[in-house]
Amino acid sequence: MDDEQGIRRFLRAALQNQAYQTSEASSGVEAIEAVMAIRPDLMILDLGLPDIDGVDVIRSLREWTHIPIIVLSVRSEEAEKISALDAGADDYLVKPFGSGELVARIRAALRRVNKPETCAVFTSGDLEVDLAQRAVSLAGVRVPLTPTEYDLLKTLIRHSGKIITHRQVIREVWGGASYEDEMHLLRVNISNLRRKLEHDPSRPRHIVTEPGVGYRLRSD
Partner 1 sequence: MPSQNGVKNLLSNVKKPSTPVRKRTSHSPGRILAKLIQVLPNRHGAEVFAVLRRAFWLAFGVRVHIIRGVAVPPGSCDSDAIRHAISTATPAGRSTPHFPQSTALYLPLMAESAVVGVLAIAADPAKLGTMNPESPVFKAFRAQTVLSVLRFGLDEEAQRVRALQTADRLQKALLSSISHNVRTPIASILGSLGTLRDDGCGIDEHTRRDLIDNAFTETERLNRLFGNLLDLNRLEAGALRVRSDVCDVQDVIGAAIEQLGTATLGRLLRVDAAPDLPFVRMDFVLIAQTLVNLLDNAFKYSGEHDSVVVEAVVQNNALKISVLDEGSGIPEHELANIFEKFNRAGRSGETGGLGLGLSISRGLVEAHHGTIWAERRNPRGAAVRFTIPLGGV
Rounded Cα distance between 58 and 83, Å, is 10
Bond preceding residue 96 cis, omega within 30 of 0: yes
CB atoms within 10 A of CB 156: 26
Task: Mark residues 66-95: x for contact with partner 1 by CB under 8 A, - for none.
Answer: ---------xx-xx----------------
The interface region with partner 1, picked from 12-20, 41-49, 53-61, 187-195 by CB under 8 A, is 187-195
CB of 161: closest distance to partner 1 in angstroms? 17
Sheet holding 69-74, edge to edge: 43-46, 69-74, 91-95
User: Rule CB under 8 A: is residue 208 a binding residue for partner 1?
Assistant: yes
Number of Cα atoms under 13 Å in the Cβ half of residue 85: 25
CB of 7: closest distance to partner 1 in angstroms? 15
53 burial class (0-12, 13-18, 19+ CB within 10 angstroms)? middle
Instruction: Name the β-bridge partners of 127.
Output: 124, 138
The interface region with partner 1, picked from 3-11, 36-44, 138-146, 184-192 by CB under 8 A, is 184-192
CB of 10: closest distance to partner 1 in angstroms? 13
Binding residue for partner 1, selected from 28, 68, 161, 204, defined by CB under 8 A: 204
CB of 16: closest distance to partner 1 in angstroms? 20
Rounded Cα distance between 125 and 160, Å, is 13
Q: Which is nearer to partner 1, 112 or 167 (CB)?
A: 167
Residues contributing to the site for partner 1 (CB under 8 A): 75-76, 78-79, 96, 180, 183-184, 187-188, 190-191, 201-204, 208-209, 211-212
